[in-house]
Each structure stands twice: as C-alpha cells, then as structure tokens.
Amino acid sequence: MSSSDRGPVTGAAVLRAAIVEQRRDVVVSSLLAAGQQAGSALVPVLIGVIVDVAVTSGSPSLLILWIGVLAANFVVLSYSYRFSVRAAERAAEHAEHDLRLRLTHRVLHPGGGAGGGRLSGELVNISTSDAKRVGTANVVVPFGVAAIIAVLVSAVVLLTISVPLGLLVLLGTPPLLLLTHYASKPLERRSEAEQERAAHASGVAADLVAGLRVLKGLGAERTAVQRYRHTSQQSLVATLRTARAYAAQGGVVETSSGVFIAIVALVGGLLAADGAISVGQLVSTVGLALFLQIPLSTTGWTTIEFAQARASAARIAAVLSAPPAVPAGAGVAPEPVRGALRLRGVTQGLLHDVDLDVAPGELLGVVSPSPAIARALLACLAREVDPEQGTVELDDVPLAALDPAAVRAAVLVATHDAVLFAGTLLENVTAAGAEGAADITAALVAAAADEVADSLPDGVDSTIGEQGSSLSGGQRQRVALARALAAGRPVLVLHDPTTAVDSVTESRIAGALRRIRHGRTTVVVTTSPALLAVTDRVVLLDGDGVRCEGRHADLVESHADYRETVLT
C-alpha cells in the first residue's frame, strides 16, 4: 500500500492504475452502456418503421409486432443503462477511495517530505477533488466506448437506408461538431479565468471566515465586508462576460444543428419524392441525424474530462512520488533502549557544530536564545531531517541508520505546535499508547490536565473539537503534555511545554515531570526557569554550538548571557 516505497509515480501511471484496478466494473459498464446507446439509436429507426406500416400496409398485426419490438428495445436500453451506470460509479468511487488512502498513507509516511511546501488545504484538495476527477475517468471510459458504438450502429443503419444520405449525415456531423468545438475554444480560456476569479472570491471569503476571531477582536468586520463586496463585484463582472459568451456558443450550436437538419430533410425529401427511399426511411434518417449529435458530443466531453483527469492524476503523482525527507535506514534499533543520546559535530540550519551527550535517565535542559536553533535541534532529534553535517546517535546507533518510525518509537519529540485531534480528551491522551490506567492518571496529573478535565462537562470523556478548538491555549498545552507523558517513550524531548500555563501550575508540572520521567532520558527545550530548575543539567546553545553547561542555579549565578536569556 505504501506507494512511496515504489519509487517515482507518473500521472499517466496513476490514471492507468485507477482504471485497471477497477477493470471488471469498467468493462461490464462499457458493454452495457454500448447496449443502451444502440437501443437509443434504434428508437427513431423504429418510429420510422411504424410510420411506414401505417402509411403502406395498415396491418394491425404488423403494428403489434413492431410495438412489441419497440417494447423489447426499451427493456434492453433501460436495464443496460441501469447496471452500466452502477458499475461505472462503483468503479469511480472505489478508485477515488483507494487514491485517497494512498495519499493519506504518503502524507503520514514516517519519512515525511510529502508536503513539499504545499499548504494542508491544498493537500486536502488533492485527496478530495483531484481523487474524484481521476475516479471519474471510470465513468468517462464506458460512456466514451458506448458513444463510439452508437456512432457505428447509426452509420450502419444510415448506409443501409441510402448510401448518399448516409454519407451526408456521417460526413456532415463531424464538421458540425468541430465548428461547435471551435466556437467553444476561446470560451475554455475565458472559463479558466472565470473559475480563477470565482475561486478568488470564495478564497477571500474563506480567509475572512478563518480569521473571524481576529476580525472581531479588531472590530474590522465592516472593512472586511466592504473588501469582500469589491472582490465579489469584480468576480460578477467576469462571470457575466463569460455567461454571454456561453449563451452565444449555445446559440451557434442550436443554429448550426438546425440548419444541418434542414439540409438532411431537403436531401432526404428529394430522394423520397423520387421514390429512392420510403417515407419511413426518411423519418428514420432525420431521427438518426438528431440522435447522432448526442454520442458525437459525448466524445468531445470525454476528451475534456480525460484531460482534467490527467491533470489531477499528475498532481496526485507529484505527492505520491515526492522523495521522503529522510531515507529509511536498515539498522536495528537498540532493544531495550537505554536512552543515551550523542550528538557529534551536528550542523543543521542555524544549529552549528554541536557536540552533546545526554546520559541515560538524565533530565537535561536546553536553552537557546533563537527559536530557529531550537527547531533545528528538535528536527534532528525526531529525525524529521538528517543533519547537514555530523551525527546523532541513540545508544551508539546513528539515527540515520534507522527507520524514522523506529526512531520515533524510542524518541518522542513533542513540539510546541503539536496539535490535538478531534475526539475526547482521553482519546487524545492515550492515542500514542499508554500502558495502563495508572499511567494515564499519572500523566494527566503530572501535566495538570486532570484540572482541565474537571472543568469540562464530561470530564476526560469530553470532546475537545477539531485541533482542541474548544480549549483555551493553556488547557490545550496541558492536554498535549499529558499525551506526551502518557506515551511513555524511553526518550522524551519537550519543547516549550508550559508557555501558556500560569506560574503556580508550571512549577507543579516541573516537579511532577521530574518524578514521572525518573530513570528515563528527558530533554526539555525551554527558557522557563521553573522547568530548568528541576533539570540535572542545562546547556546553552547558540549559533556557535554549546556555549556553556552546568546546573541551572550555578549558571544563573555565573553566566551573564545565560541569566539574560532565561530571566528577562
């Protein structure tokens, strides 16, 4: 399932696979759709035959016979349609679903790198809209096949009636459709611009809604509404222009097909007047000339839909084949993990030439005046990236030699911006695996998240909304900390875990943190004195590596830079 292991994927391959993997439904649907089209083509023919019966023989038994044939034809076309559409839509939906899951797998793959600078909204769009477009190919294929068959059936019937009339219809229809296509060319370009405008208007609206709280705080609703009205009116002007062009195109199509019917009627009428064809055959010809436009324009629709599916498939392929940020290593993770970290000459971004050893079971504080340095260190420890230079080792095994998932099973890096997920408070805390009720309670208490639970209507079973939206900043932070503690990893790296927590609670958390992590390696990246005070040792990192190290209290005394970073 994990596509990122298969190497690069092309858009064509994605599209092909989406169809081939659903081939049973696609083939069945195509055959049935062809039956339906053939049946539809026969309806005008049968009308002609029955008119002939009325004019020439007037025989009631012949009439009953042909009405029976008409009925049989309707049964065939109706059932063909029914099961053809079901099979096609099933194939489309299943292909869409499979693509969505492959994309989710890729985005969540431990190796990372799928984002590639894309916003999460864009990735969501790729797994919904683009996946749907590719899936729709499974509807397009049967309909395209059926349209071709309908054209062939009509051609055979027309040529059987009269070769010159048949040729007129068969050779006249494609130029007619080309004309339509030509008329719609500038329209397609314009429609793209229109879609962009419309998308812009809806983008502006969504952006304003997303920033609703900020607008409210600022009292800028009125200004925002005026700004939106301007965008909306601009979009309206563009849309109106396109609407007129569309209407004109519709008019051209209607006129040209009407004129074409007039020509067919004229030629057919002349042939019939000369006795070369019967009245019924004239009626069938006119009926078929009208009918033929449907399958022929379906083929046009098919090409457009296919082009869109290809473009969507290319976007999907770009995500699926994005190279992972870190390659999977073949090394074996230490078992059990003692929790010794060793950094040698680690350079990554602003992090420069860092040598650092963390002993098993140590509680280490890391202070950095620069958020960028802290983030680079966290990324290396989580193996979100491999450092540009130098190595990070866990129990003497280089992290780069391990699978990133194996690294994270041993080392949990809980960043400041970690999000909570939709679900209950308890589900969030236990998501990363807690061993038992006692551990969960211990984690909740240590992070002071039990107080958060007490303030909610259903305690730990309260739902906390998407991204913990129903909690305040401080409450979110404590639940996230409880989750990190409950995971019980041998090595835990915490990043600014208490910035939104009041100082009494913070010092309680600091003490509890020391107890709950006793014997297991813990690194706290922070400038909070309350947390640093409980550590065994603190290192100060700046752009030149480790500036100084020692106990918090000693460093506050002895090191002016440290004092300034931590205490002001």
Q: Give the footprint of other proteins on residues 141-160 (CB under 8 A).
A: none
Residue among 13, 170, 179, 204 that touches other proteins (CB under 8 A): 204
CB-nearer residue toward other proteins: 56 or 389: 56
Site for other proteins contains 193 (CB under 8 A):
no
Site for other proteins contains 478 (CB under 8 A):
yes
Residues 16-75 that bind other proteins (CB under 8 A): 43-44, 47, 50-51, 53-55, 58, 60, 63, 67, 70-71, 74
Determine the interface stretch with other proteins among 27-35, 143-151, 282-290, 349-357 (rule: CB under 8 A): 282-290
Q: Binding string to other proteins for residues 351 to 390, with x set by CB under 8 A, is what?
A: -----------------xxxx--x-------x-x------
CB-nearer residue toward other proteins: 362 or 506: 506
CB-nearer residue toward other proteins: 321 or 477: 477
Residue among 431, 445, 546, 548 that touches other proteins (CB under 8 A): 431
Task: Classify strands 397-398 and 389-394 as parallel, antiparallel or unpaired.
Answer: antiparallel
CB-nearer residue toward other proteins: 334 or 497: 497
Residue among 4, 29, 37, 127 that touches other proteins (CB under 8 A): 127
Residue among 473, 515, 518, 558 that touches other proteins (CB under 8 A): 473
Determine the interface stretch with other proteins among 113-121, 160-168, 514-522, 538-546 (rule: CB under 8 A): 113-121
Q: Do 316 and 357 contact (CB within 8 A), yes or no? A: no
Least separation in angstroms between residue 348's CB and other proteins is: 17
Site for other proteins contains 396 (CB under 8 A):
no
Site for other proteins contains 311 (CB under 8 A):
no
Site for other proteins contains 405 (CB under 8 A):
yes
Site for other proteins contains 192 (CB under 8 A):
no
Residue among 119, 330, 437, 560 that touches other proteins (CB under 8 A): 119
Determine the interface stretch with other proteins among 162-170, 182-190, 438-446, 457-465 (rule: CB under 8 A): 457-465
* Rounded Cα distance, 551 and 554, in Å: 5
Site for other proteins contains 177 (CB under 8 A):
no
To the nearest 10°, report the CA torsion of 326, 328, 332, 334: 30
Give the count of residues interacting with other proteins (CB under 8 A): 180
Q: How far is CA 464 from the centre of its chain?
A: 24
* Rounded Cα distance, 85 and 91, in Å: 10
Site for other proteins contains 213 (CB under 8 A):
yes
Task: Decide: residue 233, CB within 10 A, 0-12 exposed, 13-18 middle, 19+ buried.
Answer: exposed
Least separation in angstroms between residue 81's CB and other proteins is: 6
Q: What is the DSSP string of 274-329?
A: TTSS-HHHHHHHHHHHHHHHHHHHHHHHHHHHHHHHHHHHHHHHHHHTPPPSSPPP
* Residue 398, phi then psi, degrees to nearest 5: -65, 135
455: tokens are 């303030």
Residue among 304, 465, 518, 558 that touches other proteins (CB under 8 A): 465
Site for other proteins contains 129 (CB under 8 A):
no
* Rounded Cα distance, 49 and 287, in Å: 12
CB-nearer residue toward other proteins: 196 or 357: 196
- Residue 361, helix vs strand vs coil: coil
Q: State the DSSP code for 463.
A: B
Site for other proteins contains 86 (CB under 8 A):
yes
Site for other proteins contains 133 (CB under 8 A):
no
* Rounded Cα distance, 326 and 352, in Å: 20
Q: Do 501 and 474 contact (CB within 8 A), yes or no? A: yes
Segment 392-395 long-range contacts (CB within 8 Å, at least 24 positions apart): 392/341, 392/342, 392/343, 392/346, 393/340, 393/341, 393/342, 393/343, 393/344, 394/333, 394/334, 394/337, 394/339, 394/340, 394/341, 394/491, 395/334, 395/337, 395/338, 395/339, 395/340
* Residue 294, phi then psi, degrees to nearest 5: -65, -60
Site for other proteins contains 187 (CB under 8 A):
no
Site for other proteins contains 560 (CB under 8 A):
no
Taking residue 36's Cβ as centre, other Cβ atoms within 10 Å add up to 25
